[in-house]
Structure 1
Amino acid sequence: MAIASFIKLTYGNQPSQFGVLRLPDASGKCPVVITFHGGFWKAKYGLEEISPVDEDLTKRGYATWNVEYRRVGEPGGGWEGTFHDAVDSVNFLSQLEKDFPLDLSHVVIIGHSAGGHLALWLASRINRLNQDMMDGLLQIPIKGVISLAGVSDLEKMWEIDAQNGIDSPVENLMGGMPKEFPDRYRFASPIDQLPVRIPQILIHGDSDVDVPVELSLKYYHRAIGLKDQVDLKILPKTDHFMLIDPLSAAWQSVIDSLNKLVY
């Protein structure tokens, strides 16, 4: 199936508040996959990283909404702007539905690395609202979320960076260390928002040196303990970036997981 069209559309007034909508060459309304790219929330990494994923999914009959968002290093990036953008970009689909053949009863969010963090965090914006922090709820139904090597535990990732003597991208995102902003970390960390009561699929390579697989394992076991709807796939001989390479052996696991959620 060929890609019929793609178009850049803005969901806000800031330069990074935009997305790329791709539509398949198909008749009728299409299921939608929203993608969030990684890059540890840094401004130097953009949505082009995950474009091959969107191109492949569109060829398979999905409409894709590849989201850009404000990142650390640009005005409004980090706490709280990045999180507002994640919510606003998803809710913008209700506007796109007016002009494009989108089936909003079949929407899945896929995120890689830092984008996996945002995808899992967005699941917590569906069934409840924490009045003590930033507001914002998703206004469209989501069939499920797929985290590809997602940073599912912000404090644990910060600890790993500290142990390795790395300038922590998590600390830069959150504006400080966990001990400085414990409430902020609890609100923004997906593992602390469990249970979310929508299907979640975690896919992680056992050879990942960028985001250790132990984060997904810890998230999975806590979710299972809370009787949440979660599945975990640990792929052998798979590194951090093979998960977003449509030519890799790992890609079929992503496609199988997506089809399971949508259909």
Structure 2
Amino acid sequence: MSHKAKISYGKHHSQYGVLRVPDKKEPCPVVVMIHGGFWQSKYDLEENNPIAEDLTSRGYATWNIEYRRVGEEGGGWTGTFHDVIDAINHLSQLKEPYGLDLSSVMIIGHSAGGHLALWLASRTAGNPDQMFHELVVPIKKVISLAGVTDLKKMWEFHEEKGMKSHVSALMGGSPHEVAERYQVVSPIERLPMKIDQVLVHGVLDRHVPVELSRDYYLKAMEQGCNVSLVVLPDAEHFKIIDPASTAWNAVIDTICPLRKS
């Protein structure tokens, strides 16, 4: 059995998360989940429900967060970024009433959520700036599932395909127009990071090319980061968040290597 609650961390209707807590007496480790959808309002946290339920059944409390996205008031630059920080900070208020163990918080982000997860990891280095809220809950590990590790390369990929880039919509301009913004929030520009990072990416991904994770991994390794890369030859973009897939088993191994059943 588990307990499930929808909890607001702000006043906007998209500033909430769904907390699932397994029925156990001791405090639960927490996995924060950030969904993808290229930061657009037409996609929401329901994408993560299956893996949230799977992880809760394995003994983790899961905090599946929503945030203001492009197409909503306050979404995009900079509201989306403030929201993911505020959502994680809100765990400190949930710790006592829900019996959460915040000593080893993990973040899992899929696609655009992978971008936000890795960016959050860069906020823990003790270099707060005035642009964003301070992240006060410590993060132990970030797992990027088909994550957008490089906003500039993602923008270029869309341009080459003749697509209107969702990256520009998030950032309020192209890498040429607002270059300094890309420097501040593109994960590859934020290296090195002092946090454990795992990148999982499928070779068959047509939405976010696997090269983004490979290039990020190589740069992170060069800079001495604790980073690992899991490339899945038969997986496409959504397989890695399907609990029924073998790709999800590879993700589980990175989350709880000592808990393999």
TM bucket, shorter chain: over 0.9
Q: Which residue of 1 aligns with 2:12?
A: 14
Alignment match, 1:148: 145
Equivalent positions of 1:249-260 (< 5 A) are 249-260=246-257
Determine the C-alpha separation between the residues in 1 that align with 2:42 and 2:258: 32
8 A Cα contact 1:143 1:261, kept in partner = no
- Report 1:71-82 matches (<5 A): 71-82=69-80
Partner of 2:82: 84
2 CA distance for matches of 1:62 and 1:77?
Answer: 29
- Separation of aligned partners in 1, 2:78 and 2:127: 16
In the alignment, the residues of structure 2 paired with residue 97 and residue 34 of structure 1 have an alpha-carbon distance, to the nearest angstrom, of 13
Partner SS, residue 97 of structure 1: helix
Q: CA separation of 1:88/1:203 partners in 2, compared to 1, >3 Å: closer, same or farther?
A: same
How many angstroms apart in 2 are the aligned matches of 1:218 and 1:249?
A: 25
> Quick one: distance in 1 between partners of 2:128 and 2:8?
27
- Name 1:174's counterpart in structure 2: 171
Q: TM-score, normalised by structure 1?
A: 0.96
1:229 Cα offset (Å): 0.9
Q: How many residues align?
A: 260
Contact in 1 for aligned 2:51/2:241 (Cα 8 Å): yes
Among 53, 56, 59, which residue is 1:55 paired with? Answer: 53
Give 5+ residue unaligned stretches, structure 1. Answer: none
Query: After superposition, what is the alpha-carbon deviation per residue over 1:65-98, rounded to whole angstroms, capped at 9, x for unaligned?
Result: 0000000000000000000001100011000012
Structure 2 stretches of 5 or more lacking a match?
Answer: none
Q: Aligned partners of 1:151, 1:262: CA distance in 2, in Å?
A: 28
* 8 Å Cα contact 2:81-2:132 kept in structure 1: no
Partner of 1:100: 98
Question: What value does the CA root-mean-square deviation take over the aligned residues?
Answer: 1.4
Q: CA deviation at 1:5?
A: 1.2
Matches within 5 A, 1:116-155: 116-129=114-127, 131=129, 134-155=131-152
Q: Say if 1:129 and 1:137, in contact at 8 Å, map to a contact too.
A: no
**Contact 2:147–2:213 (CA under 8 A) maintained in structure 1:** yes
* Poorly superposed stretches of 4+, deviation over 2 Å: 128-131, 260-263
Alignment check: 8 A CA contact 2:128 2:134 kept: no
Q: Does 1:245 align with 2:242?
A: yes
Q: Is the 8 A contact 1:125 1:136 kept in 2?
A: no
